[in-house]
Copies of this chain bind each other. A is one copy, B any other.
């Protein structure tokens, strides 16, 4: 079997552990020098392939690659770039073939969520439809936890651990303050289409009497009166109320709660934030003093509080992707298969990219309690193992130590630049 180079790229919103998948790919490739030559990483995802901006990872030491295990973000740059179909934009695929051929690339590993797996699937068609032999394997990643087939998505467990931990900590804070000060605390978390991340806030407490007292899911239409009644009841019963709100919380008619319709002093539409919108709603209706937080990127970048389970799974899908490629698989993605929840046991399976692409896994409705404001025991059983184990990064000077890659670009071999 001839030695071929590999192309690896990161795509879509990055996570605390996507670099662990990169580490899994690169370390495993390095163990097979008889089959895989260099691993080129796309600078900024697939854009790097189109522009022939290929980072030569062979320039990085083993230690530097290992440091990816504890470095959040996308070490090679990611992108939001969706490729059209081969028939719609043949020019891009021809460019990919040109670049791959110029750099003798025979393996393509694409690390991302639904849209990215769609790209990986389209690239795999190059082999058949354009006669350029390339092995394409998807590497799953997304904090949204919405990829089909896989039991969970690398990246999600760490956000879930961050959100559960932050909810617990902030709850202890407001509980201390509520007698004479703040009575309502609202934490806004990611998840525009599904409530997986908001649900993780539920792991902070156990049962209705423990915070969070309210979780707002995109799956459950937001009703102002029911929400306010529950806030008021919580303050009466416990002295305070903790709310974890998905950024995707929405009214029955599909309007996002965050679209408050506000204008700033210049008459420009104010870009929302579900947390401040809810906080103002509570203040107007009930008069309670409030605080709110929007975790935004902090939640998905929080490698310092990553789940050890998640880190291990992220590494493993990278490793298995390479092993699948070497075993002659094509257009598949390693997935996580749960054997049992407690004690947690899982193994790696595979799913065809043709079926992964553009499918969204929704949160099962039986994971949400009947009143719509909490999680069920089924949900808890599902989520619990995903946040387990700590994988603290090394620290230096009081902050996490992160990988510093050289990110040297391979010399370009093509004459023409390419506009993306």
The oligomer's copy count stands at 2
Closest to A186 in B: B296
With an 8 Å Cβ cutoff, the count of chain A residues facing the other chain is 83
**Minimum CB distance partner of A265 in chain B:** B261
* Contact call B392/A390, Cβ cutoff below 8 A: yes
Known contacts A180-B44, A262-B264, A203 near B78 by CB under 8 Å:
no
Cβ–Cβ contact B268 & A284, under 8 A: yes
Chain B neighbourhood of A260, CB < 8 A = 264-265, 270
- The digit string for A280-306, where 1 denotes a CB below 8 A from any CB of B, is 100110000001111111101111110
Question: Do A176 and B276 touch (CB < 8 A)?
Answer: no
Q: Evaluate whether A273 and B271 lie within 8 angstroms (CB atoms) in the complex, with A173-B14, A203-B399, A398-B389 already known.
A: no
Interface string of A156-196 (1 = CB under 8 A from B): 00000100111011111111110111000101000000000
Contact present for B172 and A79 (CB under 8 Å): no
**Which of the 9-residue segments A67-75, A87-95, A113-121, A314-322 touches chain B?**
A67-75
CB-defined interface of A371-403 with B at 8 Å, one 1/0 digit per residue?
Answer: 000000000000010011110100101111010
Q: Which residues of B contact A261 (CB under 8 A)?
A: 264-265
* Cβ of A112 to closest chain B Cβ, rounded Å: 12
* Contact indicator A293/B291 (Cβ below 8 Å): no
Given A47-B180, A384-B398, A399-B161, answer yes or no on A270-B280 (Cβ-Cβ < 8 Å): yes
- Which positions 1-15 of chain A face chain B at CB distance < 8 Å? 10, 13-14
A397: B residues at CB distance < 8 A: 203, 384, 387-388
A204 close to chain B: CB less than 8 A: yes
Contact of A280 (CB < 8 Å), options: B170, B173, B271, B300 = B271
What's the Cα separation between A298 and B169 when bound, in Å?
Answer: 7
| Contact of B79 with A304 in the complex, beta carbons under 8 Å | no
How far is it, in angstroms, between the C-alpha of A81 and the C-alpha of B179 when the chains are bound? 10
For the complex formed, measure the closest distance between the CB of A304 and the CB atoms of chain B, giving whole angstroms: 6
Residue pairs across A and B with Cβ atoms less than 8 A apart, 5 shown, are A164-B399, A165-B400, A170-B301, A268-B280, A298-B298
Identify 19 new A-B residue pairs, CB closer than 8 A, beyond the known A169-B302, A291-B296, A292-B294. Answer: A14-B176, A73-B172, A75-B176, A77-B176, A77-B179, A78-B176, A164-B398, A166-B302, A169-B297, A169-B301, A170-B298, A185-B297, A264-B270, A270-B280, A271-B276, A271-B279, A293-B294, A387-B398, A389-B398
